[in-house]
Amino acid sequence: MFSKSVKYALKAVLFLAVNSNDKKKVMVKDLAKPINVPQAYIAKVLQELSKQKIISSTRGPKGGVFLDEKNREQSLVSIIYAIEGEKKMTHCLLNLKKCNLAKPCPLHHLANPSREELIKTLKNKTINDLAMDIKSGRSFLPI
């Protein structure tokens, strides 16, 4: 479904949503272990997220990565698209260039409703929404 990089990114951002704020930064090495992702790898993913303003960071001593209020209001798709681009989620399921509503591929009408439903859901949910679910015990972020 999603690439590993996207899964790692989602886990990292959710972890930051619960465990950081502009006063409380988290070092990459302290984030890698609890979400069970290789440190060097998640570091690279975080760099990309930082570049695209999905997360915030400061360098040097007392530095770290974190989410500020603006970051928290981003949608979940923004994370996915930041890492693997939009096409992968919206492209024709059979990779047909000419697939469209007027000339749909055999899977188009079958699968697109579910797919579009999923995308809509991911567009409407913010990082903060999910963080509140975790904080209130409605969902969990285990290994």
Partner DNA sequence: GAATAAATATGATATACATCATATTTAAGA
Partner DNA sequence: TCTTAAATATGATGTATATCATATTTATTC
Q: 3 touches which of a second copy, DNA, none (CB within 5 to 8 A by kind)?
A: DNA
- Tell the smallest beta-carbon distance from residue 133 to DNA (Å): 26
Residue 79: closest CA among 57, 48, 56: 48
- Please report whether residue 27 would count as binding a second copy according to CB under 8 A: no
Crossing angle of helices 4-19/76-84, nearest 10°? 140
21 bridge partner residues: 24
**CB contact at 8 A, 45 and 28:** no
For residue 64, the minimal CB distance to DNA (Å) is 4
Q: Which is nearer to DNA, 30 or 129 (CB)?
A: 30
Q: Helix, strand or coil for residue 91?
A: coil
| 109 contacts a second copy (rule: CB under 8 A) | yes
Amino acid letter at 93?
L
Among 19, 28, 52, 93, binds a second copy (CB under 8 A): 93
Amino acid at 53: K
**From the list a second copy, DNA, none, partner contacted by residue 52 (C-beta under 5 to 8 A by kind):** none
88 binds a second copy (CB under 8 A): yes
Chain positions 50 to 69 lying near a second copy, rule: CB under 8 A, are none
Q: Say whether residue 97 binds a second copy (CB under 8 A).
A: yes
Told to check if 103 binds a second copy by CB under 8 A, we report yes
**Which letter, b or e, does each residue of 23-41 get, where b requires 16 or more Cβ atoms within 10 Å of its Cβ?**
eebbebeebbeebebeeee
**From CA 44, how far away is CA 40, in angstroms rounded?**
7
Q: Which residues bind a second copy (CB under 8 A)?
A: 1-2, 4, 7, 10-11, 14, 76, 88-89, 93-99, 103-111, 113-115, 117-118, 121-122, 125, 130, 133-134, 139-143
